[in-house]
Amino acid sequence: MQGFSVKIESYIREKQEGKGLEFCAASWLDSASKRAPQISVATHVLKYLHSDAKGTNIYVVLGSKPFDPLSRYVSTDTLLKAREDVVGNAAAMDIAGLLHLEVNGVTFLDLIAKDDTSLLAPFADSETRLLSWMKGFKSILSDPELSSHTLAKQIYFPTGEGKYHLLAPLYASSLSHVLYERVKEDRFGEKAKEAREHRKKEEYSDSVVVFYPDLAVQTFGGTKPQNISRLNSLRGGKSYLLRSAPPVWISIEKPPMKKNVFWKGYEWKAAPVLKEFKHFLLTVRDRDSNKDIRTEVQSYLDQLLDWLLLAAAEVQAMQPGWSKTSELPLHEQFWLDPHREDFKEIGCEAEWKEVVAAHFATWLIRKIEDKDLQFSNVNYEYFSDECLKVLKRIE
């Protein structure tokens, strides 16, 4: 356990020197093992349901059941590897970092659970001291008593005449953390940024650009996320929620015969993204442009253009020739009714993309501009150019 000895010593040294104390691993382990019962390891945490709830948190040993790749449900049990959470007295959370020290895929916590004393033996001057440390740290693995609380969510499930099981659902903190890290990596990771840059330049990339439509953020703990749990503190109190609504079937009834009917339909489809985009621009309007802001703007614009292509594709799938009797301007007829036979005679195929792109830029600015949000010709040209790139790419 030489690797663990080095990591443990480095961790303790950092904690003591941060408080201006002289390094002594044994004295810190004495204190930590005595404070250890004030916290516990968990995968399912009660305080996410109510910050004042007091009761049992559950620690599910991951990998205790065979992994089923065909499982229909995503749960903590389907995780191949997850971060255990730590709950309890915030003043004792300095111990949590020790539990997650890892060497070759094995953590401090794993060895404590197996009663492996070799990781702490180099710091102990007696067997009694070593066993005292082990006992203190092992108390983290379980609560002495199972209990619920009046502030917890509870379900009385009937099992017979006048008989019930009391169910107390707990928040799957470890599962939430895995989801948070996955979404964060897909949105802001270096590979994700590189993939989006290739997509913007219309270059090939092995990486996949991942979008999470209608992603929601749930917060826990307010200004003190550490009071909920350690993982909640690492996330800044934030957890992601994926859209779980059933798909909505939209029937294509009639082609957009009237002027602006298509754009009104598109606006309805893109309304949530449009609202979020405007809100984001308002929050950064007083800040200088930087890479993160530009990346976020590009992400919103990509989503709006995706909705535009989807709305157009629904109309383009209709029977060719419908636009002959419509009130649509010629450039929109070329775009939305591309298989009309007489277009070869009419010509102007080369110009319609530029006109549609210009219309999109004008439409977008009109929808998000107000007294607190003004746009320049540079913004107009940027929106128009991005739309034109997309239209040319789908030829």
Residue 136 predicted with pLDDT over 70: yes
pLDDT tens digits for 209-265? 898 988 999 999 988 898 899 899 999 999 999 988 887 776 656 888 998 899 999
Residue 118 pLDDT grade (very low, low, confident, very high; cuts 50, 70, 90): confident
Query: Does residue 311 carry a pLDDT above 60?
Result: yes
Structural contact between residues 265 and 312, judged by C-beta atoms closer than 8 angstroms: no
Mean pLDDT within 372-384: 87
pLDDT of residue 240: 94
Amino acid 276: pLDDT: 92
DSSP state of 48: T
pLDDT for 395 equals 61
pLDDT for the residue numbered 347: 59
pTM assigned to the model: 0.58
Structure confidence at residue 348 (pLDDT)? 55
The residues, ordered by sequence, that sit 6+ positions from 190 with a Cβ below 8 Å of its Cβ are none
Nearest CA among 335, 337, 313, 311 for reference residue 323:
337
Question: pLDDT tens digit string along 316-356?
Answer: 888 888 988 889 998 898 889 888 887 766 655 557 889 99
pLDDT (tens digit, 9 = 90+) per residue, 152-178? 888 889 998 889 988 888 899 989 999
User: Average pLDDT, stretch 41-70?
Assistant: 79
Query: What is the pLDDT, as a whole number, of residue 377?
Result: 85
Using the 8-state DSSP alphabet, how is residue 83 labeled?
A: P
Tell me, what's the pLDDT at 148?
83
Output 2 or 298, whichever has higher pLDDT. Answer: 298
* Encoded tokens for 107: 């953590």
Tokens of 327: 């009130």
| Beta pairing partners, 214 | none
Poorest-confidence range of 31-45, 142-156, 197-211?
Answer: 142-156
- Answer for the pair 154, 167: CB distance below 8 angstroms, yes or no: yes
Phi, psi (deg, nearest 5) at residue 49 = -80, -35
The count of other CB atoms within 10 Å of the CB of residue 112 is 24
Q: What's the rounded mean pLDDT across residues 26-30?
A: 90
Measured distance CA(264)–CA(26) in Å, rounded: 71
Beta bridge partners of 240: 217
